[in-house]
Amino acid sequence: MFHYDLSNNLFTSIGKINITDVNNNKYNFKEIYIDTKKKEMIGSNVSVALDEKNFGLNEANDPRFVANNILLTKDKATLSKGVFTVCKKREDKCPPWSIKAKKITHDKIKKNIYYEHATLKVYDVPVFYFPKFYHPDPTVKRQSGLLVPFFTKSSTIGSGVATPYYWAVNNDKDLTFSPKFYNNENPLFLGEYRQVFENAFLTLDAGYFSGYKDTSVFKPSGSQNHIFANFGVFLKNKCRKRNVAIKNLIMNQRIVVGVGNIYACESLYLSSIRPEKKCKYITLKQCNDLAKAIKYVLKKSIKSGGTTLKDFKTLDGTPGYFKQKLMIYDCKICKCGAKVKNIKLGGRSSFYCNICQK
């Protein structure tokens, strides 16, 4: 049932109400009141399925929340007694994690989500309580603040929790400080500093541990510290002034070892680079992304037992399953919905998405 009060510019409705906004977010209400003059809406017994792409997530997530009441204005969304998660929906199962709060406010201008009297639940078990805290919404790529806590477990140190803090120093450098606190051991302090230069990048990794409370053969006495540094320009130097396609470069075994045709297509897809793009136009950031993608694809393939379009088997007779997990090679449709294109480079099939790869 719908009712519109002309004198007060108020639209009301009671019943099973479904609304989809311009960002493809889907709202379900039991009762709503819309002030058409102030452009505000109040709803009760609300559940919202947020569009993962507009929310800055991929299709492996289902961002959503439920609440007793919601107030929507131009710049804010305020929920009372709400529960929020981005975990993929599972039939009749609780999400791996969720945040339940007395009040949740999404500030669309500051792009932050604020919580009051919030409880973090892991598989529906309360783990942490926060009187107040906030975090950037997923549309924010870089912003200083606390990152999502995570649990750690070691046979030597035991169980603990890490509470990382990210500091976006400026556009070309950042710092992540990750203290780990354990039940029965001294804390471990870790830090990572990253900086991008015009033709290079620098990564510094450092850690400090004051020592074990109880020493043994496997727990030597004394503090333990480390500093690792990685100053990378290799792939960028190899690309500089070369007029060949980037796919042909990374398949050159004298430059990059172990990358065959399938892995090259997968790596370029993950790093959003077209296979025919000339090396001399590849930026330092793209080189860094591509190097990470190659390492990821190779590790994933090794873990899956190899890749081939034929009946490949490992030494123990088990088949290679990585082909079943291919994202672009020999695919018809990309995850974005676009048709996968296939061109010939060096006499080899080169699959790519004209939308996702530039």
Q: How long a stretch of residues is the chain?
A: 358
265: Cβ–Cβ under 8 A, 6 or more apart, which residues?
247, 275, 328, 329, 350, 351, 352
**What is the number of other CB atoms lying within 10 angstroms of the CB of residue 67?**
22
**Backbone angles phi and psi of 346, in degrees to 5:** 60, 30
Assigned architecture for domain 235-352: Orthogonal Bundle (1.10)
Task: Answer whether 275's CB lies under 8 Å from 259's CB.
Answer: no
Q: String of b and e for 171-209 (b: at least 16 CB within 10 Å)?
A: eeebbebbbbebeebeebebbbbbbeeeebbeeeeebeb
- CATH topology classification for 1-141: lipopolysaccharide transport protein A fold (2.60.450)
Q: What are the domain boundaries of the chain?
A: 1-141, 143-232, 235-352
Give me the tens of pLDDT residue by residue for the chain, a chain 358 residues long. 678 888 888 888 888 898 888 888 888 999 999 998 888 999 999 998 888 777 666 677 888 889 999 998 989 999 999 998 888 887 777 788 889 999 999 998 888 889 999 998 888 889 889 899 888 777 777 788 877 777 777 777 788 888 889 999 988 899 999 998 888 889 999 999 998 876 667 888 899 999 888 888 878 888 888 887 766 677 888 888 899 999 999 999 888 888 999 999 999 999 999 999 999 999 888 988 898 888 888 878 776 655 544 444 433 444 444 455 788 999 999 988 899 999 999 899 999 999 999 9
Helix, strand or coil, per DSSP, at residue 325: helix
Same fold for the pair 1-141 and 235-352: no
In sequence order, the β-bridge partners of residue 39 are none
